[in-house]
């Protein structure tokens, strides 16, 4: 069982969605990939960074998981036209039948952007390019001067000689889409047909920090009123509805505090250091939890990471975590990707946020807390 809700946003142009539940069902079976929290991880396509925070004593086991998942992993970076990915060996080997993730690194608010995921080609185009491409699409949900074209490249009709595919190739060769642009690609390993691009290994970097003060790990909202974490006001009599709203607000505050704490640990902020002198300018202070201060380890992998790789890391870490330990996994999406979760249209405006954090707190019932940070120009929100 899981519960989801939106909490008050403090980041301009962004929303934070929170889900709490357990990683396994009543029979102890791991939840399927299409159920939260695994659906959050598996449905997020274009990941630029994975960041794991664990207690220092768990760093060796965590490092072993990361090293195993990314043992032979790599991605490519180069300046290539769209047509490169629609022709020849790359198209037949990686797009049609294999694993393929491609993203152009253009600015989605002003340039033409394309991506390929699960065999789907998504184009986010300016009006000029759209009119010259000659392929029917739709107006963007966020900008009436931009157009979205989506084509399933694994469809049986997507081959040379078919009218729609030939029109796509013509647009890729002769319209503004013919211009080479900076791209990244992950094809599941090394590939000879990517010789025109530079290969980069997906490798982790590890650092320790602390000791840091550790905040409370909030329980699900239904249990929150039965803990000692918060006491309602006694100077006035609250109705049942007012009392429920009070607990909901206090619970949301603790959840947001936990998310802020993971972000501050990630940048090694002095605000979370145990026994640090209070800041005269910052309003943040770690909530008292009764837990001893801990030295933490931060493991980071940068590059184009697939959702399958992220899910492999999450599954291994969450189910191997000890009942008295904790793990925080944060995954950052590309700000200018035309897609965020599943098939949701994504744009930028002020932030371009499409990130998530999943915290597995100390618990015997395999609990989790998942945060999805989504900018307003994203249909996932």
**Of 372, 331, 321, 332, which is closest to residue 22 (Cα–Cα)?**
321
Q: Where are the alpha helices (DSSP H) in the chain?
A: 38-42, 59-69, 88-90, 127-133, 163-174, 221-224, 240-266, 307-320
Residue reference for tokens 């931060």: 298
**Which pLDDT score is estimated for 220?**
62
Torsion of CA 197, 198, 204, 206, to 10 degrees: -140
- Can you give 124-167 as a three-state secondary structure string? EEEHHHHHHHCCCCEECCCCCCEEEEEEECCCCCCCCCCHHHHH
Task: Find out whether 184 and 100 touch, Cβ atoms under 8 Å.
Answer: no
Which of 42, 48, 62 shows the shortest CA–CA distance to 360?
62
Residue 11's pLDDT is 47
Consecutive H or E run containing 183: strand 181-186
Helix orientation angle between 59-69 and 307-320, rounded to the nearest 10 degrees: 150
Q: What is the pLDDT of residue 373?
A: 92
Domain boundaries, the chain: 2-73+203-375, 74-201
Instruction: Centre a 10 Å sphere on the Cβ of residue 294 and count the other Cβ atoms it contains.
Output: 18
What Å distances lie between residue 102 and 12, 33, 50, 131, 362, CA to CA? 29, 23, 18, 24, 37
Identify whether the C-beta of residue 60 lies closer than 8 Å to the C-beta of residue 273.
no
CA distances to 33, 205, 327 from 59, rounded to whole Å, are 26, 12, 10
Q: Choose among 117, 193, 191: nearest CA to 154.
A: 117
Tens of pLDDT, residue by residue, the chain (381 residues): 455 555 544 445 678 888 888 887 655 566 666 688 899 999 999 999 999 999 999 999 999 999 999 999 999 999 999 999 999 899 999 998 878 999 999 999 899 999 999 999 999 999 999 999 999 999 999 999 999 999 999 998 888 888 999 999 999 999 999 999 999 999 998 899 899 999 999 999 999 998 999 988 877 655 544 343 444 444 345 455 654 555 566 778 888 889 999 999 999 998 888 876 666 666 777 878 778 899 999 999 999 999 999 999 999 988 776 777 899 999 999 999 999 999 899 998 778 899 999 999 888 777 899 999 998 888 886
Distance CA 131, CA 355 (A): 33
Closest CA to 257 of 223, 284, 294: 284
pLDDT (0 to 100) of residue 62: 93
């Amino acid at each position: 069982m899981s519960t989801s809700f939106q909490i008050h946003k403090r980041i301009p142009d962004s929303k934070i969605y929170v889900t709490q539940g357990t990683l396994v069902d009543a029979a102890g079976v791991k939840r399927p990939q299409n159920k939260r929290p695994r659906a959050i991880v598996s449905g997020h396509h274009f990941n630029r960074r994975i960041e794991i925070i664990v207690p220092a004593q768990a760093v060796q086991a965590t490092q072993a998981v990361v090293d195993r998942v990314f043992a032979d992993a790599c991605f490519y970076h180069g300046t290539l036209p769209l047509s490169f990915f629609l022709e020849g060996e790359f198209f037949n080997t990686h797009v049609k039948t294999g694993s393929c993730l491609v993203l152009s690194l253009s600015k989605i608010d002003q340039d033409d952007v394309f991506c390929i995921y699960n065999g789907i080609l998504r184009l986010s185009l300016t009006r000029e390019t759209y009119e010259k491409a000659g392929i029917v699409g739709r107006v963007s949900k966020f900008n009436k001067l931009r157009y979205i074209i989506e084509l399933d490249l694994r469809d049986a009709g997507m081959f040379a000689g078919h009218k729609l595919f030939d029109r796509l190739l013509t647009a890729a060769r002769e319209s503004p889409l013919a211009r080479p642009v900076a791209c990244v690609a992950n094809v599941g390993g090394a590939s000879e047909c990517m010789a025109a691009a530079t290969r980069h290994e997906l490798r982790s970097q590890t650092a320790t920090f602390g000791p840091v003060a550790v905040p409370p790990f909030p329980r699900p909202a239904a249990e929150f009123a039965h803990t000692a974490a918060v006491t309602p006001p006694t100077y006035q009599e609250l109705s049942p509805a007012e009392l429920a709203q009070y607990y909901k607000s206090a619970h949301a505050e603790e959840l947001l505090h936990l998310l802020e704490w993971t972000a501050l640990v990630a940048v090694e902020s002095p605000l979370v250091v145990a026994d640090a002198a209070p800041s005269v300018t910052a309003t943040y202070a770690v909530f008292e939890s009764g837990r001893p201060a801990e030295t933490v380890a931060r493991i980071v992998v940068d590059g184009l990471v697939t959702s399958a790789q992220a899910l492999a890391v999450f599954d291994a870490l969450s189910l191997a975590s000890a009942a008295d330990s904790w793990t925080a996994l944060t995954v950052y999406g590309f700000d200018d990707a035309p897609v965020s979760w599943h098939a949701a249209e994504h744009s930028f405006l002020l932030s371009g946020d499409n990130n998530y954090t999943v915290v597995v707190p100390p618990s015997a019932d395999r609990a989790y807390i998942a945060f999805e940070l989504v900018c307003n120009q994203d249909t996932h929100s």
